[in-house]
Amino acid sequence: MASSFSRFSQTLLLLVVFWGITSSSSNAQLSTDYYSKSCPNLFSTIKFTVHSAIMKEARMGASLLRLFFHDCFVNGCDGSLLLDDTSSFTGEKNAVPNRNSARGFDVIDDIKSAVENVCPGVVSCADILAIAARDSVKTLGGPNWDVKLGRRDARSASQAAANNGIPAPTSNLNRLISRFNALGLSTRDLVALAGAHTIGQARCTSFRAHIYNESNIDLSFAKTKQSNCPRSSGSGDNNLSPLDIQTPTYFDNKYFNNLIGKRGLLHSDQELFNGGSTDSIVRAYSKNPSSFSSDFVTAMIKMGDISPLTGSKGEIRKNCRRVN
**Residue 80 annotated as lining a ligand binding site:** yes
Identity of residue 279: D
Catalytic residue among 51, 70, 210, 267: 70
Smallest CA-to-CA distance from 262 within 226, 200, 228, 211 is with: 211
Nearest to 129 by CA among 308, 323, 313, 314: 308
Helix H or strand E segment including 175: helix 173-182
305 is known to lie in a ligand binding site: no
Known binding residue 271? Answer is no
**Can you tell me the distance from the alpha carbon of 152 to that of 124, in angstroms, rounded to the nearest whole number?**
6
Residue 71 in marked binding region: yes
Are the CB atoms for 58 and 104 separated by under 8 Å? no
Is 289 flagged in the annotation as binding? Answer: no
Question: For residues 300 and 197, what is the distance between their CA atoms, to the nearest angstrom?
Answer: 14
State yes or no: 197 annotated in a binding site.
yes
Rounded Cα distance between 271 and 278, Å, is: 9
Residue 228's φ and ψ, nearest 5 degrees, are -120, 10
Catalytic residue flag (residue 267) = no
Confirm or deny that 198 is annotated as ligand binding: yes
Backbone angles phi, psi at 247, to 5 degrees: -135, 75
Amino acid at 52: S
Question: Which residues contribute to the annotated binding site for heme b?
Answer: 197
Question: Which residues contribute to the annotated binding site?
Answer: 71, 74, 76, 78, 80, 92, 167, 197-198, 244, 247, 252
Question: Which residues contribute to the annotated binding site for Ca(2+)?
Answer: 71, 74, 76, 78, 80, 92, 198, 244, 247, 252
> Active-site positions?
70
Question: Which residues contribute to the annotated binding site for substrate?
Answer: 167
